[in-house]
Amino acid sequence: MTPVLSDAYGRIATDLRVSLTDRCNLRCTYCMPPEGLDWLPGPELLTDEEVVRLVRVGVTLLGIREVRFTGGEPLLRRGLPGIVAAAAALEPRPRTALTTNGIGLARLAPALAEAGLDRVNVSLDTLDADVFERLTRRRRLDDVLAGLAGAARAGLTPVKVNAVLMRGVNDHEAADLLAYCLEHGYQLRFIEQMPLDAQHGWQRESMVTADEILDRLSAAHTLTPAGGAARGSAPAELFLVDGGPATVGVIGSVTRPFCGACDRVRLTADGQVRNCLFAREESDLRGPLRAGATDAELAERWRAAVATKRPGHGIDDPGFLQPARPMSAIGG
């Protein structure tokens, strides 16, 4: 029987999220400071071949069924189409997905679809160019909108949109974002801001909660729960908009945590296994890989790492400490 990545709470990790770089061409205020961060040094990054090898170990020896590429901004990784192609060629073929800010996606979408990418999630917090610049510190709204359209054209569907609402900045735009996504056939999900920014600026009091988001949307639409059974381990709680079939999602990581059903495991761009966005421990696979470990030895280390996964993120624990790595370096 193929071993699986199981933990002490009965959860099995089948969804691998691979960070391909910690770098980014935006500076979203809830993620990074204006000056950026001390990027990982080149030699510490896994090479394309090393990424592909670890993905292969996950898929062929450990029961990984879905591989999502993220970052930082994964479109900045030159080898992305080749890495996607190698992942999609594995047996059993994993589902493949990408989470991106969309810049450059208009150009890259056809090649990524051709390589075997199944679908994309694109982050878009606003439809106002000035608000976009305030949130991301770059004037690139048109590139993101073009990226979304390019993804849909290339068949990278369903195209999902991730939006973080920040109080006093873009929280008045919930209904406009929904109208735009409904019009274009994108699946919108609102995300509660989490304490994962490098500047440690998160404050529970100012976070826009899932309840608030649903209240705002309910002013313009009738929302009905789309049905719990279909949710499985997905972070997004889905609601039918005006009877459906279109839906809107809310990812309430803080006020409506879903850790009990978590099926994720993460691999950082420098080859560390992380069990949780909020994990304070990591397990090194790059060292053993470069020291000549066999696939079976890497798989055993990975399995042992997941066995120690904690039950939840612990944001509500009195002793909660934000992880040392920010979201951009973990792989959001």
Ligand X SMILES: Nc1nc2c(ncn2[C@@H]2O[C@H](COP(=O)(O)OP(=O)(O)OP(=O)(O)O)[C@@H](O)[C@H]2O)c(=O)[nH]1
Ligand Y SMILES: C[S@@+](CC[C@H](N)C(=O)[O-])C[C@H]1O[C@@H](n2cnc3c(N)ncnc32)[C@H](O)[C@@H]1O
| Known binding-site residue numbers for S-adenosyl-L-methionine | 30, 72, 123, 194
Residue 277 exposure: Cα atoms within 13 Å on the Cβ side: 24
Min separation Cβ 30 and ligand Y, Å: 4
- Interface residue with ligand SF4 among 5, 24, 120, 210 (CB under 6 A) is 24
Two tokens at 293? Answer: 């470990």
Two tokens at 96? Answer: 């493949």
Residue 89 exposure: Cα atoms within 13 Å on the Cβ side: 10
- Interface residue with ligand SF4 among 33, 79, 81, 312 (CB under 6 A) is 312
121 sits near ligand X (criterion: CB under 6 A): yes
- Site stretch for ligand SF4 (CB under 6 A), options 41-49, 54-62, 258-266, 297-305: 258-266
User: How far is the C-alpha of 10 from the C-alpha of 5, rounded, in Å?
Assistant: 10
264 sits near ligand SF4 (criterion: CB under 6 A): yes
- Site stretch for ligand X (CB under 6 A), options 29-37, 52-60, 133-141, 233-241: 233-241
Nearest to 124 by CA among 103, 110, 151, 154: 103
Whole-angstrom CA distances from 46 to 117, 233, 289 are: 21, 29, 10
- Interface residue with ligand Y among 21, 70, 136, 272 (CB under 6 A) is 70
How far, in whole angstroms, is CA 159 from its chain's centroid?
14
Q: Do the Cβ atoms of 330 and 269 come closer than 8 Å?
A: no
- Interface residue with ligand SF4 among 26, 84, 122, 181 (CB under 6 A) is 26
28 sits near ligand SF4 (criterion: CB under 6 A): yes
194 sits near ligand Y (criterion: CB under 6 A): yes
Q: Residue with structure tokens 């839906």?
A: 247
170 sits near ligand X (criterion: CB under 6 A): no
β partners of residue 18: 69, 267
Two tokens at 48? Answer: 């394309």
191 sits near ligand Y (criterion: CB under 6 A): yes
Q: Which does 251 bind (CB under 5 to 8 A by kind): ligand SF4, ligand Y, ligand X, none?
A: ligand X
Q: Which does 236 bind (CB under 5 to 8 A by kind): ligand X, ligand SF4, ligand Y, none?
A: ligand X
Q: Which does 160 bind (CB under 5 to 8 A by kind): ligand Y, ligand X, ligand SF4, none?
A: ligand X
User: How far is the C-alpha of 309 from the C-alpha of 280, rounded, in Å?
Assistant: 11
104 sits near ligand X (criterion: CB under 6 A): no
- Interface residue with ligand SF4 among 51, 84, 262, 329 (CB under 6 A) is 262
CB atoms within 10 A of CB 1: 3
User: How far is the C-alpha of 111 from the C-alpha of 117, rounded, in Å?
Assistant: 9
Whole-angstrom CA distances from 70 to 23, 100, 265, 313, 331 are: 11, 7, 13, 20, 6
Residues within the interface to ligand SF4 (CB under 6 A): 24, 26-28, 31-32, 71-73, 101, 123, 258-259, 262, 264, 276-278, 312-313, 328
Q: Which residues lie near ligand X (CB under 6 A)? A: 70, 99, 121, 160, 162, 191, 194, 234-236, 251, 253, 264, 277, 332
